[in-house]
Amino acid sequence: MNGQGRVSPGSAAPADERGCSWLNIWVFLIFALAVKAAFVALCLWLVVPFCHSSDQPSALQQQFSQWECDSAVPQGTDGGWTCCPKGWRRFQGSCYFLSSDTMNCAESAQNCGGMGSQLVVISSKAEQDFLSKLKNQLQKNQQLKRDNFYIGLFEKKEGQWQWVDKTPYNETATFWRAGEPNDGHDENCTVRHMPEETLNNWNDVKPDVPHYRICEAAAVIV
């Protein structure tokens, strides 16, 4: 035999074999890019707060695995997405949760804290208006048939009101109902009285009475 059809050691591989090798490389690269794209999509839509960085997750992040994100980012912050736990509602840089069960004042504060949030601190007319419109929206969709919701405003001493996060109490930026708060009667917790049609719907109540609650936490920026 004259050895035709054999490739001697050190000689170049036939053209068809070299083409097959390059094809395998391209197939591998395309597959790797597809896997990376799928991982990025998973980060953005399912667990985006946890894929973004190695920073210690916030208390809110540690409590929830499902998130809803959009591209609206509060002014002056870095990042491309603003995220809230699934089922929460976002306004500016905060996420809000309206409960479907009732607890007393202390239990409500504890429950919000256990979710990595706090009873809502209302610091502007825009925020008060948002919560009123949210109530109307949920009622329209028959998701809300509730009256009073605890917020994070407490009477530390007679006539001395204080927000749960120590935000200074500004009497000119409050939304009390007419005649409220009424001193005495051991009414040292505050609710939003939802049936009230105006923005002035805060009412001081006794702490042992069960009501619904509104929890608030800073949105996760990624």
pLDDT tens for 118-158 read: 999 999 999 999 998 887 777 666 655 668 999 999 998 88
Question: So what's the pLDDT on residue 11?
Answer: 47
Question: So what's the pLDDT on residue 26?
Answer: 66
Beta-bridged to residue 169, according to DSSP, are none
* Model pLDDT for residues 174-219, shown as the tens digit of each residue: 999 999 998 767 899 999 998 778 899 999 999 999 999 999 999 9
Would you list the domain boundaries of the chain?
86-221
pLDDT range class, residue 221, cuts 50, 70, 90: confident
Question: 């949105």: which residue's tokens?
Answer: 219
CATH architecture of 86-221: Roll (3.10)
* pTM for this model (two decimals): 0.73
Question: So what's the pLDDT on residue 157?
Answer: 86
Nearest-CA neighbor of 121 among 161, 72, 71, 68?
A: 161
Question: 């695995």: which residue's tokens?
Answer: 65
* Model pLDDT for residues 4-55, shown as the tens digit of each residue: 444 444 444 455 555 556 666 666 667 666 655 554 454 444 444 444 444 5
What average pLDDT does this structure show over 107-119? 97
